């Protein structure tokens, strides 16, 4: 992964900053390695639900927004923050525009080459979230507990020399398959895109990265930064793809830090003993 790579658009969703399960460090490293003209933060970036109860805001969560600001400053990146169900506290301020590069909105229409995409977090079609919020809170507690169990289960698997296994994703996947949740969700979102005369829809919410055609409409889901660690990216020719975080990013970042440290130490040595520069 090269830091010189630049995309036209990057879409991130479901980072859930403020929770123990959020991969804040990883998503920050991702943004430090990829630049873009437009960054869409598609909902559930900050987890207001858990912050009200038992969540904790840490320096690594603040670091993410500092990296977003650096994108604005260094690349003139336009940032569009769309409200999700976990950051519904934004209802009190949106729509909001700060300068020419940052805005908070409910939804967004993105022009991509000759195509248009309707961008929404996706919770508008989740009847449990929109109509029975108390049940959604209960489900959120259960999911958080499942992530906690998953953490210790994988520590045991690592001790046994076994690869990582997402217990929480498997349980969630089987439940949603039983009620055809994902299929219904995709159909509803693509129907909305068609009703808005768009060629496709970009969403998040269900933590299931995807990119495929659905009844002639392009369906794209950016996934999440709790389990999938994925993002949607658009190149300068209008081509879309899913990009996943890998250990390569962390390795590259570590290598850069080591190189800077070595260079700093070398400058200090030469400063203390300039005679080392002599060639005679």
Please state which of the ranges 70-74, 89-93, 130-134, 236-240 shows the lowest mean pLDDT. Answer: 130-134
Q: What is the β-pairing status of strands 217-221 and 200-203? A: parallel
Q: Taking residues 106-123, report their average pLDDT.
A: 95
pLDDT band at 178 (very low <50, low <70, confident <90, very high): very low
pLDDT top residue among 94 and 55: 94
Residue 71, judged by CB atoms within 10 A of its CB (0-12, 13-18, 19+), counts as buried
Outline where DSSP puts E strands in 108-177. Answer: 108-112, 115-119
pLDDT at residue 82, as a whole number: 96
Closest CA to 165 of 175, 173, 155, 176: 155
pLDDT at residue 53, as a whole number: 79
Q: pTM score, two decimals?
A: 0.73
pLDDT higher than 90, residue 225: yes
For residue 226, what are the CA distances in angstroms to 27, 166, 178, 236, 259? 10, 11, 23, 28, 30
pLDDT at residue 176, as a whole number: 46
pLDDT higher than 80, residue 218: yes
pLDDT higher than 70, residue 193: yes
pLDDT at residue 45, as a whole number: 94
């Amino acid at each position: 992964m090269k830091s010189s790579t630049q995309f036209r658009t990057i879409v991130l969703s479901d980072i859930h900053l403020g929770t123990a399960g959020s991969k804040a460090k990883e998503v920050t490293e991702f943004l430090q390695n990829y630049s873009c003209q437009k960054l869409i933060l598609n909902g559930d970036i900050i987890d207001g639900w858990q912050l009200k109860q038992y969540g904790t805001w840490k320096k690594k969560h603040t670091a993410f927004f500092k990296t977003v600001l650096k994108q604005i400053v260094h690349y003139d990146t336009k940032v569009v923050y769309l409200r999700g169900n976990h950051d519904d506290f934004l209802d009190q301020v949106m729509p909001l525009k700060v300068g020419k590069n940052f805005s908070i909105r409910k939804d967004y229409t993105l022009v991509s080459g000759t195509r248009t995409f309707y961008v929404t977090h996706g919770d508008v079609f989740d009847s449990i979230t929109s109509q029975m919020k108390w049940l959604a809170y209960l489900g959120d507690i259960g999911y958080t507990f499942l992530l906690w169990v998953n953490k210790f289960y994988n520590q045991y698997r690592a001790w046994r020399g076994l690869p990582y296994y997402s217990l929480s994703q498997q349980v969630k996947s089987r439940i949603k398959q039983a009620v055809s949740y994902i299929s219904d969700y995709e159909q509803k979102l693509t129907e909305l895109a068609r009703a808005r005369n768009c060629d496709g829809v970009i969403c998040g919410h269900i933590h299931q990265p995807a990119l495929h055609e659905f009844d002639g409409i392009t369906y794209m889901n950016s996934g999440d930064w709790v389990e999938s660690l994925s993002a949607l990216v658009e190149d300068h020719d209008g081509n879309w793809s899913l990009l996943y975080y890998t250990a390569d990013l962390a390795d590259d970042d570590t290598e850069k830090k080591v190189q800077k440290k070595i260079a700093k130490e070398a400058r200090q040595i030469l400063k203390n003993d300039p005679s080392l520069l002599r060639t005679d």
